[in-house]
Amino acid sequence: MQQFFSENSNQRSDQWGGSFENRMRFPLAVIREVASVIDTYADKPFILGYRISPEEIETPGIRLEDSLAFAQALADTPVDYLHLSMGSYKRTSLNQPDDKELLLTKFVHALNNKKPLIGIGSVERPEDAEEVINAGAALVTIGREFICEPKWVQTVFNCSEKAKNTGGPKDWLHLYYVSKTSSVSGLESYLAGSETFGSKSATISISI
Q: Which positions lie near ligand FMN, rule CB under 6 A?
A: 51, 85-87, 120-123, 142-145, 207-208
User: Least distance (Å) from ligand FMN to the CB of residue 140?
Assistant: 9
The DSSP call for residue 89 is: T
The nearer residue to ligand FMN, 124 or 161, going by C-beta atoms, is 124
Q: Is residue 65 a contact partner of residue 42, using CB atoms and an 8 Å limit? A: no
The nearer residue to ligand FMN, 15 or 85, going by C-beta atoms, is 85
Q: What are phi and psi of 111, to 5 degrees?
A: -75, -20
User: Least distance (Å) from ligand FMN to the CB of residue 207?
Assistant: 5
b/e burial code for range 26-62 (CB count within 10 A of at least 16 → b): bbbeebeebbeebeeeeeeeeeeebebebbbeeeeeb
Q: Name the residue number minimizing CB distance to ligand FMN.
A: 143
Q: What are phi and psi of 57, to 5 degrees?
A: -90, -15
The nearer residue to ligand FMN, 27 or 121, going by C-beta atoms, is 121
User: Least distance (Å) from ligand FMN to the CB of residue 33?
Assistant: 21
The nearer residue to ligand FMN, 51 or 151, going by C-beta atoms, is 51
User: Least distance (Å) from ligand FMN to the CB of residue 206?
Assistant: 9
Output the CA angle 90-96-102, nearest 5 degrees: 25
